[in-house]
Amino acid sequence: MIMSNTEQTLSIIKPDAVERSLDNEIKEMFKNKGFLIVKEKKIQIEKSEAEKFYKVHETKPFYNDLCAYLSSGPIVVMILERENAVSGNRDLMGATNPNDAEEGTIRKKYGISIDKNSVHGSDSVENAKIEIDFFFKD
């Protein structure tokens, strides 16, 4: 029996990558790994919205900088769909710190630093649903 596990996940191309006009190259990397871009929009969010989005990190010392950064310029927000999209996207993104990211990953190729690491991706199926709703519920 063929088991299929099509999932959706939320991906964000962060300000450092949009600013360097890397959004099309990053989208190509997703497509080359079999992801379908179901929805996408280029937006800039308020700091208060970034604070809501990253609420899980509110006790972290980097929370304020992180929210200021995500709201500092345009971002591209996408719903990606594929088999095992959540873990597949995390694999393609690479480690949070680009210095630790493996060859062939987006963060290895384009990330500048742990904060300017070019992409966000949901970390679980449950959070993917919450994050997709956050940006695309209308």
Residues that bind Mg ion (CB under 5 A): 123
132 is in the binding site of which of ligand IDP, Mg ion, none (Cβ under 5 to 8 A by kind)?
none
Distance CA 53, CA 92 (A): 22
Is 120 annotated as catalytic?
yes
Nearest to ligand IDP of 27, 98 (CB atom)? 98
The residues, ordered by sequence, that sit 6+ positions from 112 with a Cβ below 8 Å of its Cβ are 16, 98, 118
Nearest to Mg ion of 81, 123 (CB atom)? 123
Query: Around Cβ 64, how many Cβ atoms within 10 Å?
Result: 12
40 is in the binding site of which of ligand IDP, Mg ion, none (Cβ under 5 to 8 A by kind)?
none
Which 8-state DSSP code applies to residue 101?
A: P
Interface residues with ligand IDP (CB under 6 A)? 57, 62, 66, 96, 114-115, 117, 120, 123
CA neighbor of 84 nearest in space, from 125, 29, 126, 28: 125
Annotated catalytic residues are 120
